[in-house]
Amino acid sequence: MSISLGSALRPPPSRVSSMASAPTSKYNSHSLENESIKRTSRDGVNRDVGEPLPRLPGEIRITDKEVIYICPFNGPIKGRVYITNYRLYLRSLETDSALILDVPLGVISRIEKMGGATSRGENSYGLDITCKDLRNLRFALKQEGHSRRDMFEILTRYAFPLAHSLPIFAFLNEEKFNVDGWTVYNPVEEYRRQGLPNHHWRITFINKCYKLCDTYPALLVVPYRASDEDLRRVATFRSRNRIPVLSWIHPENKTVIVRCSQPLVGMSGKRNKEDERYLDVIRETNRQVNKLTIYDARPNVNAVANKATGGGYESDDVYHNAELFFLDIHNIHVMRESLKKVKDIVYPNVEESHWLSSLESTHWLEHIKLVLTGAIQVADKVSSGKSSVVVHCSDGWDRTAQLTSLAMLMLDSFYRSIEGFEILVQKEWISFGHKFASRIGHGDKNHADADRSPIFLQFIDCVWQMSKQFPTAFEFNERFLITILDHLYSCRFGTFLYNCESAREKQKVTERTVSLWSLINSNKDKFKNPFYTKEINRVLYPVASMRHLELWVNYYIRWNPRIKQQPNPVEQRYMELLALRDEYIKRLDELQLANSAKLSDPSASPSSPSQMMPHVQTHF
């Protein structure tokens, strides 16, 4: 188990001073707009050189108050906190501290009052704010004048708009970008890229009005030999009507990855002839395949237990031409508790003396290993041409999405490009009904909801692990992944809102909100990996042993200023050169404008051609 923490905690003496003085990149949700004037401070938050309260188009200032920010690293700092309908923004009022704290309200999970009327300790009366991105914020307030009550009520109202019949900020955001991120994913085009439909697979619009399955997309790819009536019969035997449908087809050997939910076997061992026949039809789409492989993401014992609630799994006795494997990936509740333990060991303090044992006790990397191992098995089975694969868990929207999308990332280099990865997320997660609203709790005050779980974060962590092992295989960089996670919570964009496609259509999300991909694709250079080498048919098999997995320090411990990794020097230089290029292009445009103005003025006509173009000095 490799942890890139030792070097972060103990930099070599020769680098200590340079690390202390060098600005370190902070990829929070707001550094993207104001990057030129912001940098990360040593207390883990953004510093600014004098900009007033930043506001997005559609963002409205609600109130501001003088507070004491209880910084877990530098102690109490006097400041003014501004609250808008989108963010909490703190600016230090102390002359020796230029601290700025910029937190989207969507990141807030819980707001609690700290201390009571009789509290006498210094800074013991105020608010304690728990965030979804592994940090807590504490503010001390004056006891007189109801200042805490006012701030508590305003924060609660705008951090949890759904509880107050208010719109989520994404519906108020009026940002404009030069690219429309909603056009990134077109299911027909994506299936056509895969060579579909063909003689064995067809596109069906049976779910056009979401009547077959309300959590599936409108457009599905199913076996050519299965009629729509067959699909309806199969739906009655699959949890939530989530029938087996195609996610990906191998371009050469034509084996497929199919996703679905568990069969409704129950304690009595029910059977459904149509379901059994349907899986056989899937197997027969490839004549070279004798068996269909079914990967059940759950531990065996959980799958058996699910029979008590009407679920279950495909028994070999009934599905004669299929073989079943359990992948031992735990449920959403286990993952939620595991991440809580990670937070306990990374924020606010990291105990270096027993770091490895503390990390091991969280089981987080163990879960990452099991998810990656399962995806490798799926990818290997399909790549070898030995078998087509069916993947499911219980309902087919959590572990199933992790496995199909990671396997597709390993098999298909298109998904390793920036736009390809956006399509992968739109397709396997957003359109196929991962319950983002339930798992993240956008705008919802019920922080203890048992449906909350970091399933998508876990997927992005697995992608990061792969990018560490294959540094030239991905067009995007770490900042791209962190930006996605920041806006998973921020509620600035409509991309991750609601649980399924039918709910998004009902709320007209693509018409009324901005897509996260608009932000990213309008400035792709910031998110590009300078080491990327495009390879068409390379299959990636990451090593999923504990020795090769790392805790993602730049994400999980980014708020702690004492554990900052040095940015990659080559990538840093690449970003500097991009900024330099932009500066020269801007200067050239200005000179050309000035020159055309001179040319249009006869009285200012130059005497020789050499005088027409001013000399531009460059460092190249």
Catalytic positions are 393
Bridge pairing between strands 256-259 and 388-392: parallel
Report d(CA 277, CA 327) in Å as an integer: 25
Residue pair 514/175 in contact by the 8 Å Cβ criterion: yes
Report d(CA 346, CA 76) in Å as an integer: 21
Residue 579 sits at the vertex; the CA angle it makes with 578 and 582, to the nearest 5 degrees, is 90
Structure tokens at 414: 């298109």
SS3 of residue 76 by DSSP: strand
Residue pair 67/79 in contact by the 8 Å Cβ criterion: yes
Residue pair 418/475 in contact by the 8 Å Cβ criterion: yes
Residue 254 sits at the vertex; the CA angle it makes with 251 and 257, to the nearest 5 degrees, is 95
Residue pair 326/299 in contact by the 8 Å Cβ criterion: yes
SS3 of residue 407 by DSSP: helix
Report d(CA 543, CA 547) in Å as an integer: 9
Structure tokens at 129: 């704010």
Cα dist from 189 to 163, 517, 582, whole Å: 39, 18, 34
Structure tokens at 269: 């061992």
Residue pair 183/195 in contact by the 8 Å Cβ criterion: no
* β-strand partners of 256: 249
Report d(CA 124, CA 140) in Å as an integer: 7
With CA atoms as reference, report the closest residue to 501 among 242, 255, 233, 312.
242
With CA atoms as reference, report the closest residue to 237 among 310, 315, 306, 298.
310
* β-strand partners of 202: 222
* Alpha-helical runs (H) found in 470-561: 478-490, 501-506, 509-512, 516-521, 553-556
* Alpha-helical runs (H) found in 354-477: 355-362, 364-384, 399-411, 418-424, 436-440, 455-469
What is the SS3 assignment for 246-310?
A: EEEECCCCCCEEEECCCECCCCCCCCCHHHHHHHHHHHHCCCCCCCEEEEECCCHHHHHHHHHHC
Report d(CA 86, CA 101) in Å as an integer: 14
Structure tokens at 44: 């883990």
Report d(CA 256, CA 195) in Å as an integer: 12
